[in-house]
């Protein structure tokens, strides 16, 4: 099994970040959790050499720039980190999706991979929102009037991905609205395609057993 560590790190990040992100040590604590995702993500794609090389080339800059941003506070480093992190999440999600959709036998790791892809999608879009807000401040508005941090975009991303639409955070610019629209569509399509694929895989298994 290769996706169990990645899934565990993703669940840990999403479950713990609200409790560790506040306070002066919050950014560093959140960076520790996201670093676990980078490490386990590389392991999840380690069955093919080319995939490992690409994952490492994306994860190492994301890791290094992220910690440099924590130490220096330089916004440029934060934006650069977001680019590499976004690409890493997207690449890992695509690799996981190809494995899940390509399987002809449903295993525990298939389920782990499917859930991991969904969670990675949420983090990918959250990173994209954070990057857009960093480049163009004011791209989003909040009812509370508070400033935006990455944890806020994690919340907004998963609310959008699940099409809940609470409305307490609103995309304002066309670029932000476009991203929110694309995330909503991708989340809906993912669930539909995943269910169809797993049903098809179950059907192949039944047919093979009958033969």
Q: Domain segments of the chain: what residues? A: 4-210
Rg (CA), the chain: 18
pTM of the model: 0.90
User: What pLDDT is attached to residue 210?
Assistant: 47
Listed as own residue / partner, the contacts of 131-137 with beta carbons closer than 8 Å and 24 or more positions apart are 131/79, 131/82, 131/83, 131/86, 132/173, 132/175, 132/176, 132/179, 133/176, 134/75, 134/78, 134/79, 134/82, 135/79, 136/173, 136/175
- Token pair belonging to 128: 């994209």
Q: Give the per-residue pLDDT at 2.
A: 82
Confidence at residue 53, expressed as pLDDT on a 0 to 100 scale: 95
**pLDDT (tens place) for every residue of the chain, 211 residues total:** 589 999 999 999 999 988 887 777 888 889 999 999 999 999 999 888 999 999 999 999 999 999 999 999 898 999 999 999 999 999 999 999 998 888 777 788 888 999 999 999 999 999 999 999 999 998 999 887 667 888 899 999 999 998 887 888 999 999 999 999 999 999 999 998 888 877 776 665 544 444 5
Alpha-carbon span 147 to 104, nearest angstrom = 47
What DSSP string describes 111-154?
Answer: HHHHHHHHHHHHHHHHHHHHHHHHHSTTSEEETT-PPP-HHHHH
In angstroms, what CA-CA distances link 8 with 3, 16, 114, 133, 136? 9, 12, 13, 29, 33
CA atoms within 13 A on the CB side of 181: 7
Fold of the domain spanning 4-210: Helix Hairpins (1.10.287)
């Amino acid at each position: 099994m290769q996706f169990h560590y990645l899934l565990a790190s993703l669940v840990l990040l999403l479950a713990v970040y609200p409790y560790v992100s506040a306070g002066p040590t919050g950014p560093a604590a959140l960076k520790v959790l996201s670093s676990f995702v980078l490490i386990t993500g590389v392991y999840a794609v380690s069955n093919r050499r080319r995939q490992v090389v690409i994952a490492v080339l994306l994860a190492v800059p994301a890791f290094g720039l992220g910690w440099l941003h924590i130490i220096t506070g330089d916004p440029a480093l934060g934006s650069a980190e977001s680019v590499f992190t976004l690409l890493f999440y997207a690449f890992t999600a695509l690799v996981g999706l190809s494995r899940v959709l390509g399987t002809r036998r449903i295993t525990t790791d298939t389920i782990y991979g499917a859930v991991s892809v969904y969670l990675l999608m949420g983090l990918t879009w959250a990173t994209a929102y954070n990057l857009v807000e960093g480049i163009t401040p004011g791209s989003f508005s909040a009812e509370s009037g508070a400033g935006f941090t990455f944890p806020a975009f994690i919340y907004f991303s998963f609310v959008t991905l699940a099409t809940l639409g609470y409305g307490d955070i609103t995309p304002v610019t066309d670029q932000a609205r476009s991203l929110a629209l694309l995330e909503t569509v991708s989340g809906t399509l993912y669930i539909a395609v995943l269910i169809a694929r797993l049903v098809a895989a179950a059907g192949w298994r039944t047919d093979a057993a009958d033969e």
